[in-house]
Amino acid sequence: MTADLCDPQQWAERPLLFDQAAIQERIPQRYEMGLLHGILLHDTEREMAIGIHDARSTDFWVRGHIPGRPLMPGVVMIEIAAQLCAWLGTFAAETAGGFMGFGGIDSARFRGQVVPGDRLLVAALTVRKRKGVATFATQAWVGRELVFEAQIIGVRV
């Protein structure tokens, strides 16, 4: 990806538009897998959303993903971004009657670390839709640092 999907500093102190309970009304992930903690922006015209995940010392990955120096696994970052894409997918006519499941990932790059205490800001933009399949550009930051970016493919499930 060439440009940032958003200015992360602009969203650092924004209040939630949708909390985790509202998110769970639209996407099925629960318990330890309910990783999308809030939505700060949902722009239906641009088909874009910005969400957050607050990394906590009690998260399931902390104990085992590098004991003594916990680092959020890349697959967890991917799942958080995929859940934001699934949120966007629930508003698309192409996925009516189902939810947007994870169909694939392209061009994933991990550029920084996420540790307990960090707030991960995630942006997703719908770049293509066709017959129950959508492609999303995603990026995530901790503070001003871009830590992850990828294209995520969602499929109607």
Name the catalytic one among 37, 42, 53, 65.
65
The structure's pTM equals 0.96
Distance CA 27, CA 29 (A): 6
Show the tokens assigned to 53.
């995940």
Distance CA 67, CA 3 (A): 35
pLDDT digits (tens, 9 = 90+) for 59-100: 999 999 999 999 999 999 999 999 999 999 988 866 666 788
φ, ψ of residue 78 to 5 degrees: the values are -60, -45
pLDDT digits (tens, 9 = 90+) for 45-66: 999 999 999 999 999 999 999 9
Is the CB of residue 123 less than 8 Å from the CB of residue 76? no
65 tagged catalytic? yes
Write down the pLDDT at residue 98: 76
Show the tokens assigned to 103.
């169909």
Write down the pLDDT at residue 2: 60
Distance CA 81, CA 133 (A): 16
pLDDT digits (tens, 9 = 90+) for 101-140: 999 999 999 999 999 999 999 999 999 998 889 999 999 9
- In Å, the largest CA–CA distance within the chain is 46
- Give how far Cα 34 sits from Cα of 7, 37, 62, 67, 109, Å: 25, 7, 16, 23, 23
User: Residue 117: how many CB atoms within 10 A of its CB?
Assistant: 10
Average pLDDT rounded to a whole number, residues 16-34: 96
